[in-house]
Amino acid sequence: MTRGVRTPVSLVVLVTLAVSLAWALAPVAGAQEPAAKKKVLIVWGGWPGHEPKQTVDVFAPWLIEQGFDVEISNSLDSYLDAEKMKGLTLIVQAVTMGSITPQQEKGLRDAVRGGVGLAGWHGGLADSFRANPEYELMVGGSWAAHPGGIIDYTVNITKRDDPIMKGLADFRMHSEQYYMLIDPGVEVLATTTFSGEAMPAIKGVVMPVVWRKLYGQGRVFNSTLGHVAADFNVPEAKEIMKRGMLWAARVPGAGDDPKPGNPYRPLTSR
C-alpha cells in the first residue's frame, strides 16, 4: 500500500495567500485607467517690457491647481511638433512684437483649427506678429495704439449673464487702454470708452476689451488687460483671464460657443 504524502499546513496557507494576492492585483474586467490630465502649453517671449515670464507665472500655478498638465516654453519651436500640438487642450501665448516662421505659424494655426483652445492677454496674443495677417485673423483683433500711455479708465461688462462675466461689475484700471483693430465677427464680453483727452478724434469710441471667437474648431479668447503682471492684482482682470482660459479649454460649465453680434449687420425691416 502506498502512503499519501501529507502537505504541511504552513505550505497550504502560503499557497492560498499567494492565489488571493494574485486575484487582488489582477486587473478588473472593464475597469478604466485614470483619465490622463489635459495638457496646456504656455509659450512666452518677445518684448520684455510686457513682463511675459512674470505674467505667465501669475497663471501657470493656478492652471496646475485646476488639474492641467502644464508645459512652459520660451521658444516658438514648440509649435513645430505636430503630434504634441494635436494632443493639447489649450495654448496660452504671451509673446509681444515677435516674429514667427511660416512653419511655426502653421503649427499653431493647424492646432487651433483642429480644436485646441488659444488664450492670451494684452500684447502677448493681440500684438504678437504684426507681419502675419492670417495669425491676426485667428486672434480676432490686433493692437493699434494706447493713447495717453498709462492712464485711469473703466472696463464695462457687456455680457453679465455669461459664465465668464457672471458676478463681475464694471471696474477701474490704471494701465494702457488699448485701441484695437477688431474683427467684427467676434463676441465681445467687455468694453471700454475713450475719453478723448489724449486723442480728441476718438472721444466716445467704445472699444472691445475682452472677446472670444472660433477659429475652425478651436476656441480663441483674448483680453487686452495685463500690460504688466501687477495689472492682475485687479481681481476682475485676473478672474476674467482665468475663466477665459477655462472656456477656451472647453471645461464643462465654462460657457458655450460664441454668439457673434456683428455691429455692421443691416437691421431687418419691421
pLDDT in tens, 251-268: 999 999 998 878 888 876
Instruction: Specify the pLDDT at position 15.
Output: 42
Instruction: Specify the pLDDT at position 16.
Output: 46
Residue 30 has pLDDT above 50, yes or no: no
Mean pLDDT of the region 13-38: 51
Pairing of strands 179-182, 141-145: antiparallel
The 3 state secondary structure assigned to 35-55 is CCCCEEEEEEEECHHHCHHHH
For 145-172, letters b (16+ CB in 10 Å) and e give ebbeeebebebebbbeebebbeebeebe
Structural element, H or E, at residue 247 = helix 235-248
Q: DSSP letter for 81, please.
A: -
Beta partners for residue 192, in sequence order: 207
pLDDT in tens, 92-135: 999 999 999 999 999 999 999 999 999 999 999 999 999 999 99
Cα separation, 217 vs 234, in Å, equals 32
Instruction: Specify the pLDDT at position 72.
Output: 98
Instruction: Specify the pLDDT at position 244.
Output: 98
Residue 174 has pLDDT above 90, yes or no: yes
pLDDT in tens, 198-251: 999 999 999 999 999 999 999 999 999 999 999 999 999 999 999 999 999 999
Residue 6 has pLDDT above 50, yes or no: no
Q: What is the mean pLDDT of the chain?
A: 90
Residue 142 has pLDDT above 90, yes or no: yes
Tell me the residue type at 48: P
Mean pLDDT of the region 37-57: 97
Grid cell digits, residue 153: 479708465
Do 213 and 183 form a contact (C-beta atoms < 8 A)?
A: yes
Instruction: Specify the pLDDT at position 25.
Output: 41
**Could you identify the residue written with the cell 472660433?**
214
Instruction: Specify the pLDDT at position 33.
Output: 57
Structural element, H or E, at residue 244 = helix 235-248
Tell me the residue type at 39: K
Tell me the residue type at 29: A
> Domains in the chain, start-ordered, CATH in brackets?
39-143+208-248 (3.40.50.880)
**Count of Cβ atoms closer than 10 Å to residue 25 Cβ:** 7
* Half-sphere exposure in the Cβ direction for 147 (13 Å, CA): 17
pTM: 0.86
